[in-house]
Chain A
Amino acid sequence: MDCERRWPDPKVIRAQRRALGKVTFMSNISRDDVANLAKLARIDMSDAELDHLASELDVILNAVARVQEVAGADVPPTSHPLPLRNIFREDQVKESLTPEEALSGAPAQEEQRFKVPRILGEE
């Protein structure tokens, strides 16, 4: 055993990357795509972040796309580890949060209600 070797060894990292395997579905995610995703996710990202994320997502997506290699039509999907159906509790009146407690973290409140910015546009 060579005790002088530094960890993580670049060789280990390379082997791990090989284990992630070959790319089957080349994604090509543009800066505009990321901008649109950020809009959908309601995050007002900076230009620098959009540039950076576009290249990063390309790398990540190409690494994870290999799930398609084994996802045959005959394989059923699993969405959850437990085979559960909806479970309902009895509809009973119980002690609950007081309005003060429920509003205790609100950024703004008025008359025991959450106060939010304008939702509809001015038309």
Chain B
Amino acid sequence: MINRSAAEMAASLADGSLTSVELTKAHLDRIALVDSKVKAFLHVDTEGALAQAEAVDKKRQAGEKLSPLAGIPLALKDVLVQKGIPTTCGSKMLEGWRPPYDSTVVARLKANDIVILGKTNMDEFAMGSSTENSAYGPTHNPWDLTRIPGGSGGGSSAALAAFEAPLAIGTDTGGSIRQPAAVTGTVGVKPTYGGVSRYGLIAFSSSLDQAGPCARTVLDAAYLHEAIGGHDPMDSTSINAPVPSVVAAAKNGNVKGMKIGVIKELQGDGYQPGVLKRFNESLEILASLGAEIVEVSCKHFDYALAAYYLIAPSECSSNLARFDAMRYGMRVGSGSAEEVMNATRQAGFGREVKRRIILGTYALSSGYYDAYYGSAQKVRTLISQDFASAFEKADVLVSPTAPTTAFKIGEKANDPIAMYLNDIATIPTNLAGIAGMSLPSGLADEDQLPTGFQIMAPAMKDDRMYQVGSALEAALLSKWGKPILANTPKLEP
């Protein structure tokens, strides 16, 4: 039962052949069985999940009208606060902290009767591409436990690939939903910036952070997207417009006559041949389904990574100033407030977080501001302009999601630049605030590990990528004869 899609599970719940309590217990059992190997979860809320499941079963028995995903279990990235549930953001700084309120994403999950199984592992404060920066140890990729599951949301994607949950929530600042999806053979969507509320999302880089759905199918992601999306008065950057009709688009899945733009700059030498081979095959499939493939050039994308690694650390150095040992979180040391602050931030933050705070402090300091942060903001304009002209030639843009398949745990831990290069294809989307999706395109010939296909759509046209994604997904499924995750090794003892 746990291998099915969320939509299939929902159908069984609706026809009475399955209860949410049974479904939730099956997933809790699975977590108990395999999570000591995968380490996707930082906290499992057995009691809370079963209480939620019982409540939704009662509502269903009483004949209440329920949301499409009512009763379906979900894994929540530990960057989103949930009232009374330990929320660490992967950091020692927040160890043992229980938030006094729900984030808007959590409030909407609860309003939709989606059962929250627990909190998933992540790179500390969402800074990383491998989950190795978690203060609580790395998550392991279910495809090969010696490899990374991507990051920062590696826990959420690994939970999906290990069948510990059929749905998950991630957040994406430079690729933290899409790159983990790519390397675990799952689906991940970064909605348009402002499409999902950031209220209660522990801030890393506020002008880039965006929560979104993670799932095993495009349709499941669409249902979850509609459940969490939409305007929120508690987030002043939330877009006051209806959520794009992504479920209808995922059900449509017709690409006849659509123009699909291949970004010249997001392929070539820096990409693993097996990744490119699967990418080109997917293009051929979309062409055979009636889409028109065009090549577009976004010449400033070569500067995107550099701009991102100035903008994100700058914003993070400001956002993380809130961890001051005064109102919540860790407090160590003695003496004056400043001495306590200095000692606490030294003890509470990990290596990558400190590195980015210092980098951001430097980029924002007087004398360097114009050369670094100011120039990066200009590159951001140029990248948005590149996207705008590319979208004049194409309805959606596509690229490989990540340049390589999952690498070994520890392999890049001491080389920050090699690590940053994982996000080379996902970062432009965040800088421009547009929508992006990753879905599996197959397994690379070299290593038999999953590869991701990225689809990008203009702001608030998220539905287009669901339309293209579901068309490609259906064609690949009929080609393979089984879902990609049927190829994962057995994890149970």
Residues of A participating in the B interface, judged by any CB pair closer than 8 Å: 1-3, 5, 7-9, 12-13, 15-21, 25, 29, 33-34, 37-38, 40-46, 49, 53, 56-57, 59-61, 63-72, 75-82, 84, 86-87, 89, 97, 101-102, 104-108, 114, 116-119, 121
- In the complex, which of the residues A8, A13, A40 has the most CB atoms of chain B within 10 Å of its own CB atom? A8
Cβ-defined partner of B327 (8 Å) among A40, A41, A106: A106
Residues in A neighbouring B355, C-beta threshold 8 A: 53, 56-57, 60
Q: Are A105 and B327 in contact (CB under 8 A)?
A: yes
**Contact of B284 with A by CB under 8 A:** no
Q: Which among B101, B335, B378 is the interface contact of A97 at CB below 8 angstroms?
A: B101
- In this complex, the interface size class of chain B, counting residues with CB under 8 Å from chain A, is 35 or more
Which B residues lie within 8 Å of A56 (CB)? 355, 416
Given the known inter-chain contacts A12-B403, A20-B417, please indicate yes or no for A81 contacting B381, CB distance below 8 A.
no
Cα A15 to Cα B418 with chains together (Å): 11
Task: Give a binary string over B301-337; 1 marks a CB under 8 Å from any A CB, 0 the rest.
Answer: 0110111011000000100010011111111001111
Let me know if B207 and A79 touch, CB within 8 A.
yes
Residues of A within 8 A of B376 (CB): 64, 67, 71
Task: Supply 5 A–B pairs (Cβ within 8 Å), ascending by A.
Answer: A13-B418, A29-B362, A43-B354, A68-B371, A84-B236
A-B CB pair tally, cutoff 8 Å: 225
Q: Which of A7, A57, A66, A116 contacts B446 (CB 8 A)?
A: A7
- B residues near A68, Cβ cutoff 8 Å: 371, 375
Which chain A positions have C-beta within 8 A of B418?
8, 13, 16
Q: A16-B270, A20-B417, A82-B239 are in contact. Are A117 and B340 (CB under 8 A)?
A: yes
Partner of A67 from the list B307, B354, B433 (CB cut-off 8 Å) is B307
Q: Confirm or deny: B89 has a beta carbon within 8 angstroms of a beta carbon on chain A.
A: no
- A18, B346: Cα distance in complex, Å: 35
B245 within 8 A of A: no
Alpha-carbon distance A46/B407, docked complex (angstroms):
31
**Is B445 positioned at the interface, with any CB of A under 8 Å from its CB?**
yes
Which residue from chain B places its CB closest to the CB of A79 in the assembled complex?
B377
